[in-house]
Structures are given as structure tokens and as C-alpha cells.
Homo-oligomer: A and B are copies of this chain.
Amino acid sequence: MQRNADRTRTRILAAATEEFAARGIAGARVNRIAEVAGCNKAMLYAYFGSKDGLFDAVYTAAVDTYLAEVGFDTADLPGYAGRVFDYFEEHPEHQRLNIWYRLERPDGTALEAIVAVNKSRLGDLDQAQRSGVVPGNFTPIELLALLQAIATSWSSMNPEYGASAPSRASRREAVVEAVRRLLSS
């Protein structure tokens, strides 16, 4: 029984990830998610409480996977930016979840997973600056904002650029080089 319950939960999360990435929180339809997951709406609400609760579960799972995959290494921030770039190239649906989240929850409803990791990274950057591993040109929070913006620079471009986009390898190298320059003394 437990394994069946886990499988149902996993199927709901997969269907909900696709639906939320395509349509956002307001636009997502719980009926459609239940149908794709092969369960009924009552079961979905039993697991996740509400559509907002389901979005939080989907987004938290996506953030956890992202954090585990890209890691964070103050001794090699250009390499970190390259991994973030790779992650969003390979998971465009995660980038869409990020953007819906910012649009539809502009005032925060902060996710614990993000709050905790930001705090930890800001502490790491502060420590790395104190010990001279990272130059002190920017405050930790400004550096983190710039790193994330540069690493996702292409995915946040206007769709009008699409046709003339350089190769993935070339865009990746531009991202890594931009972070190198950010840190040069």
C-alpha cells in the first residue's frame, strides 16, 4: 500500500510540474492534473491540501533537485555559474516555474528551502571574502544577485533573439567568462 501511495504522489507531482510550468498557478487546472496523474481530485487534495499547496510541493521539489545538482563553491564561482547555466538549459520547465513564482507571488510567500539556502550562501560568500578567496568588490547579496542574473542571462532574453542565438557552448563560455571578469581584481 505504501508503495502505491508513493507512486500516486510521484505521478501527481510529475503531472502538476508540467501543468504549472505551462500555465502558472492561476492558469493551472487541478482537474487536468488529476486526469493526467490517473487519480481523482479528492485524492489529490488529500495529499496536497490545495492548488497552492500542490504548487509549493512542485516548486520545493524542483528547487531541492536544482540545489543538489548545481552545488555552490565559493572557490570556483565561474564554474558554479556554468553549472547553473547547464541546469536551466536542460530544465527549461524549472526556469518557467521560477518565473511564474515571481509573477504570481510577487510579495514572497517565501519558500523555506530558498530562504535557508540563500542564508547559507550569503554566509559562505561573506566568509570567502573575509579570507580573501573572493574579492570584496561587491557585497555578498549583490554578488549573488549578479551571479544568478549572468548564469540565467540567456533564458531571460526576449524571444525575438531566438533565431540568432549562438551555440549553447558559446553562450556557456560567455557566462563563465562574465563571472571571471566580475571577480577579477
A31 within 8 A of B: no
Q: Are B159's CB and A156's CB within 8 A?
A: no
Is the Cβ of A118 less than 8 Å from the Cβ of B150? Answer: no
The prevalent SS among residues of A at the interface is helix
Number of chain A residues whose Cβ lies closer than 8 Å to a Cβ of chain B: 52
Decide yes or no whether A83 CB sits under 8 A from chain B: no
Contact (A146, B153) CB under 8 Å given A103-B103, A111-B160, A161-B118:
yes
Q: Are A146 and B24 in contact (CB under 8 A)?
A: no
**In the bound complex, do residue A164 and residue B141 qualify as a contact, i.e. CB atoms below 8 Å apart?**
yes
A96-133 vs B, CB cutoff 8 Å, 1 = contact: the mask equals: 10111111011111110011001000000000000000
Q: How distant is the Cα of A160 from the Cα of B113 in the complex, in angstroms?
A: 10
Q: Are A114 and B160 in contact (CB under 8 A)?
A: yes
Residues of A within 8 A of B (CB): 23-24, 26-27, 96, 98-103, 105-111, 114-115, 118, 137-139, 141-142, 145-146, 148-150, 152-154, 156-162, 164-166, 170-171, 174, 177-178, 181-182, 184
Chain B residues lying within 8 Å of A165, measured Cβ to Cβ, are 141
Q: List chain B residues, Cβ under 8 A from A139.
A: 166, 170, 174
How far is B165's CA from A118's CA once the two chains are assembled, in angstroms? 13
Q: Which of the residues B24, B142, B174, B184 comes within 8 Å of A103, measured between beta carbons?
A: B24
- The interface residues of chain B lying within 8 Å CB-to-CB of A156 are 102, 148-149, 152, 156
CB-defined A-B contacts under 8 Å, sample of 17: A96-B103, A98-B158, A99-B103, A102-B156, A114-B158, A114-B160, A138-B174, A138-B177, A142-B166, A142-B174, A145-B161, A145-B174, A148-B156, A149-B157, A150-B153, A181-B184, A182-B182
Given A118-B158, A142-B170, 14 new contacts (CB under 8 A)? A23-B26, A24-B103, A137-B177, A139-B170, A141-B161, A141-B166, A145-B154, A145-B157, A146-B178, A149-B150, A149-B153, A152-B156, A156-B156, A181-B182
